[in-house]
Chain A
Amino acid sequence: MKQSYDITIIGAGAAGLSAALEAYDDTLDILIIEREKNFGGILNQCIHNGFGLHVFKEELTGPEYAQKLIDLVMEKQIDYLLDTTVLNISKDEVFSIKATNITSGEFIIESKSVILTTGCYERARGHVDIPGDRPKGIMTAGSAQRYLNIDGYLVGKKVFILGSGDIGLIMARRMTLEGATVLGVAELMPYSNGLTRNIVQCLNDFDIPLYLSHTIKEVVGKEKLEKVIIQQVDENRQFIENTEKTFEVDTLLLSIGLIPDVKLFESLSIDTDPLTKSALVNQKLETSVKGLYACGNALHVHDLVDDVTIESRKAGKYAKAYVINQKDIDKKQVPIRFDHHIRYVVPQVVDYHLIDEPFDVLFRATQKHDVLKLVIKQGDQVIRKKTLKYVVPAEMQKVQIKPEDLINDLPIEIMVEEV
């Protein structure tokens, strides 16, 4: 192993592996650092199928999807460090990455460019107000998934799920198949936060009820969970009287959202976006720190691993170009603006000095629309119009902007034409 690299990728999940493959060039030194003992990240515990249709044109399980990427990384003989945790990153002339493992203890690796692919973490009980007792038996859906698919254990027999995020839906099916009884799923919002296919295949097919506009009023059980009481809420999220339902369960799984894991940003002064809770990036997926790229769920939470690969390939490609060219181009960054129909956009800024090819603006809607008519403007001038059908917050949308679409140096604005 060398002490200095051209590009270092932190994380060897779908994003890290995809970025590494695209950054690969036999003239460059590339290193992948992964804290787990295996490559693959969260894909290793996602043993269900549904991955890979876009990227590999076939339907794969999570571990199979990961293996395809791992095989390619092995083939290219890219350097890697497993079972190694990055503690912090600083930047002077080049990046200085402080990491630790059993073999070496703490050590430093220097790198010209860094791609952060550290994924996301799940919101836990403490991140939201779930009132009541504090027994064992309440955990995130992802934790239960890991215990079941990696360690081979169910965490309980009678299960209720809060939140209709995809992991919760997948676990509703998975635990049912393993012999547990899933009594229901409660979702605070009037719509599901998971993919439609997961509602159908994981809940409807198993007659598991989904309680929309419901949330937990109280959890009961001193040492072990005994029951959860849910209640319906109105449009202002206030409880509606006499709508309580009680479920006697030993397990409450939480599937209430994923947050990018950006701990490594702490040691760098980086511009962040409070909406994605991650770095603010330009269309090259470069953060406000030159040479530092972010992609995958560490940048914003994706619905499909295929989308993670597609985005991370771009980060790999741009990091490679950065290292090879290393030209000091003055920045000309302008924000991408949007109205209240949109929850967030990625990238958040466009650098007009770096426009050389089309780029995607990814976004999520704030609510459900059967038809969403978008108008993309620069100043007063409309540069594009696009109509999207069946738009839900749970499914990411995108608009492609071509260099020829841009007619001036004013910020791009994405607005919704009132229906």
Chain B
Amino acid sequence: MYDFTIIGAGIVGSLIARELSKYDLKVCVLEKENDVANVQTRANSAIVHSGHDPKHGTLKARLSVEGNKLYEDLEKELHISLLRTGAFVCAKDKDEVNDMKKLYENALLNQVKDMEFLSIEEARVLEPNLNPSIKKVLSLPTTKVCFPWEVAFFALENAIKNGVELHRNALVTEITHTNHMFTIKTKDNQTYQTKHVINAAGVYTDEIATLINPNIPYQIKPRKGEYYVLDKSVKGYMEHVIYPMPSKKGKGVLITPQVHGNILLGPTSEWVSDKDDISTSLKGLHYIKEHIKDMAINVPYHLIIRQFAGVRSTSTYEDFYIQEDDAVKGFYHVAGVDSPGITAAPAIAKYLVDEVIKLSLPVKHTFNPILQKKIVYKDLSKQEKDELHQDKPLYGRIICKCEDITEQEIIDAIHGPLGSDTIKGVKKRARAGSGLCQGGYCESLVLRIIARETHKPLHEVNYDQKETQILDKESKVGS
């Protein structure tokens, strides 16, 4: 019997798991995917917003400002990557300049610190590639960029080390509530009994919730966003996050430097009916280019190395919906977490545990908030490299030549409490295949390493989900 079962191992579920792992509780996380942080957390702008645009008084406003600050703690404790970019909001005409004053007032009420207005000339001293026709700029120095996948991954790894259990490929199909106890059934025929349920299932929160209560006050209406990724050789083109003025459709198409040196252009914002729709479209990609024009010049489109799309779990409730269910006590909703969800995630976890669940337990003496820093070999000093290489010679062999990733780092990605035996899983953990050639060179090498490390034939190695083997079995063994 678990005290808490969290449904969904995205950035929100993972940070909630870590928050609960402070206490002497039995906690488990159920994830439908074969990997953590695989849906909403994987495909977004990666911005830790300053909290300037959510309407003052909303939970979104409060938790994004608080979350922004909490990222500093995550950097110290989990050693997440954090890029202190600051941001420029750009007004392109007179109307937008007027709206920008209102945006500033709202941000002041939200207690966003250190903001200032800049003329375009002042802004262009810092960012020469801003479009000179921009009328006014609002500088937001507290804006940062994280690597959301890593935040979720490190938070959950830390939670696991503090006693939390994770079950992957565990799609919840049934929840029943009797005698103050929930029974959860999953598609892989497992049954979990738990005193409390936390529903952090992202775009599927409404479907999970209706398993236990058909009358919930929200519905998830997924919005898709498409992006371009520019190669890391673009570094220096733009060093701040560049926003247009926000509109009803959200924050608009942005220019966002990433922690690994790339730049993202996007997202679009389009309602979709299919919650798993991560397709890209010519229309969407065209829309990005059209809107980037207003903000920037000399856009290095020749450095595009990838397009992707993600879905955001926008809800009909409009604000975050973080509450205990009205009818079913012990069932908690963490729903409608769309932008600024990444920003707010650490604050959502605290708010849920401290103010909604109102857990008042002492922190267990064995709790260790510190996660040992992951080894990124290329970032180490010569002396550190030599010491590691002495012990593990495979740190000496480069596998991904674009990102300088060594064989040992790939082995580290495969093993460990949160390891993965897929090409995509290794890519997310070690970045092999994230560079200029997009895996054209290293994919076959990574596939061989996975096969060797997991004692599988080459044709059993999956690209991503189950049954997505890259190599055709019959062509080898004969049929």
Listed in ascending order, the chain A residues whose CB lies under 8 Å from chain B are 35, 83, 85, 87, 100-106, 121-122, 124-127, 129, 131-136, 139-140, 142-143, 146-147, 150-157, 178-179, 218, 222-224, 261, 263, 266, 274
Query: Contacts A143-B443, A153-B476 known; A105 to B282 CB distance under 8 Å?
Result: no
Whether B437 and A122, one on each chain, are in contact in the complex, defined by CB atoms closer than 8 angstroms, is yes
Q: Which interface residue of A101, A104, A121, A135 has the most chain B CB atoms within 10 A?
A: A121
Looking at B46-54, B109-117, B141-149, B394-402, the stretch in contact with chain A turns out to be B394-402
Q: Are A105 and B278 in contact (CB under 8 A)?
A: no
Contact of A131 (CB < 8 Å), options: B279, B304, B395, B458: B279
Q: Is the CB of A104 within 8 A of B396?
A: yes
Nearest CB of B to A34, in Å: 12
A85 to B396 CA separation, bound complex (whole angstroms): 9
Verify A127–B394 contact, CB threshold 8 A.
Answer: no
Residue of B nearest to A106 (CB): B385
For the complex, give the distance between the alpha carbons of A154 and B386 in Å.
40
Q: Is the CB of B444 within 8 A of A146?
A: yes
Is the pair B472, A153 in contact by a Cβ cutoff of 8 Å? yes
One of B59-67, B216-224, B305-313, B332-340 contacting the partner: B305-313
Q: Are A153 and B471 in contact (CB under 8 A)?
A: yes
Judge whether B439 is part of the interface by a CB distance below 8 angstroms: yes
Return B376 CB to nearest CB of chain A, in Å.
Answer: 14
CA distance A125 to B439 in the complex (A): 11
Distance between Cα atoms of A125 and B433 in the complex (Å): 13
Chain A residues near B390 (CB, 8 Å)?
Answer: 105
20 examples of A-B residue contacts, CB within 8 angstroms:
A101-B396, A102-B396, A105-B396, A106-B382, A127-B438, A129-B285, A131-B281, A131-B285, A133-B278, A134-B278, A136-B470, A139-B470, A143-B439, A143-B443, A153-B471, A153-B476, A154-B472, A179-B475, A218-B279, A223-B468
Residues of A within 8 A of B396 (CB): 100-106
Contact partners of B305 in chain A: CB under 8 A = 124, 126-127
Query: How many contacting A-B pairs (Cβ < 8 A)?
Result: 129
* B389 contacts chain A at the CB level, 8 A cutoff: yes
B438:A142 contact, CB within 8 angstroms = no
The answer to whether B465 and A223 touch across the interface, beta carbons within 8 angstroms, is yes
* From A129, A155, A178, A223, contact of B470 by CB (8 A): A155
For the complex, give the distance between the alpha carbons of A234 and B476 in Å: 42
Closest CB-CB distance, B60 to chain A, in whole Å?
29
Closest to A142 in B: B440
The listed residue (B278, B398, B464) touching A136 by CB distance below 8 A is B464
Cβ of B317 within 8 Å of any chain A Cβ, yes or no, is no
**B276 within 8 Å of A by Cβ?**
yes
> Given A151-B458, A178-B475, A223-B464, does the pair A102, B444 have CB atoms closer than 8 Å?
no
Known: A125-B306, A151-B444, A263-B401. 17 other contacts (CB 8 A): A100-B396, A102-B394, A106-B382, A121-B436, A122-B437, A122-B440, A129-B280, A131-B280, A132-B279, A143-B444, A151-B448, A151-B458, A153-B471, A154-B471, A155-B471, A224-B467, A263-B402
Does B233 interact with chain A (Cβ within 8 Å)?
yes
Q: What is the bound-complex CA distance between A74 and B386, given in angstroms?
A: 32
Cβ of B236 under 8 Å from chain A = no
Chain B residues with Cβ below 8 Å from A151 are 444, 448, 458, 471
Find chain B residues with CB under 8 A from A147 CB.
444, 470-471
Q: Please, which residues of chain B bring their CB within 8 A of the CB of A222?
A: 276
Contact call A87/B404, Cβ cutoff below 8 A: yes
Alpha-carbon distance between A268 and B302 when the two chains are bound, in angstroms:
21
B271 in the interface, Cβ–Cβ < 8 Å? no
Per-position contact with A for B436-463: 1 when CB-CB < 8 Å, else 0? Answer: 1111110110001000000000110001
Would A101 and B402 be within 8 Å (CB), given that A121-B441, A124-B439 are in contact?
no
Known: A85-B398, A102-B394, A102-B397. A136 touches B437 (CB 8 A): no
Contact A155 B386 (CB under 8 A): no
Interface centre among B308, B393, B472 (most CB of A within 10 A): B472
Known pairs A105-B395, A156-B472; A129 contacts B444 (CB<8 A): no
Known: A126-B306, A134-B279, A223-B464. A100 touches B398 (CB 8 A): yes
Give the residue name and chain of the A residue nearest to B284 (CB): A131
A105, B394: Cβ atoms under 8 Å?
Answer: no
Q: Is B304 a contact partner of A127 (Cβ separation < 8 A)?
A: yes
In the bound complex, CA of A138 to CA of B475 (Å): 18
Task: Select B386's contact among A103, A105, A134, beta carbons within 8 Å.
Answer: A105
Contact A224 B468 (CB under 8 A): yes
Option from A106, A155, A261 in Cβ contact (under 8 Å) with B472? A155
In the complex, per-residue mask of B190-225: 1 if CB is within 8 Å of any chain A CB, else 0: 000000000000000000000000000000000000
Asked if B134 lies at the interface with its beta carbon under 8 angstroms from chain A, I say: no
Nearest neighbor of A37 in chain B, beta-carbon distance: B397
Q: How far is the CA of A259 from the CA of B454 in the complex (A)?
A: 34
Q: Which chain B positions have C-beta within 8 A of A102?
A: 393-394, 396-397
Q: Which residue of A lies closest to B459 (CB)?
A: A153
Q: A129 with B464: in contact, given A83-B397, A152-B476 (CB under 8 Å)? A: no
CA of A129 to CA of B308, assembled, Å: 11
A178 to B443, CA, bound (A): 22
Question: Complex formed: what's the CA distance from A222 to B475 in Å?
Answer: 24
Residues in B with CB closer than 8 Å to A85 are: 397-398, 401
A129 near B282 (CB under 8 angstroms)?
Answer: yes
Q: For the complex formed, measure the closest distance between the CB of A152 and the CB atoms of chain B, giving whole angstroms.
A: 6
What is the chain A residue whose CB lies nearest that of B306? A126
A114 and B330 alpha carbons, distance in the complex (Å): 69
From 371 to 430 in chain B, residues with beta carbon under 8 angstroms from any chain A beta carbon are 382, 385-386, 389-390, 393-398, 401-402, 404, 406
- Asked if B229 CB lies within 8 Å of chain A CBs, one says yes
Residues from chain B with a CB closer than 8 A to the CB of A142 are 440
> CB-CB < 8 A to A133: which residues of B?
278-279
- Chain A residues near B476 (CB-CB < 8 A): 152-153
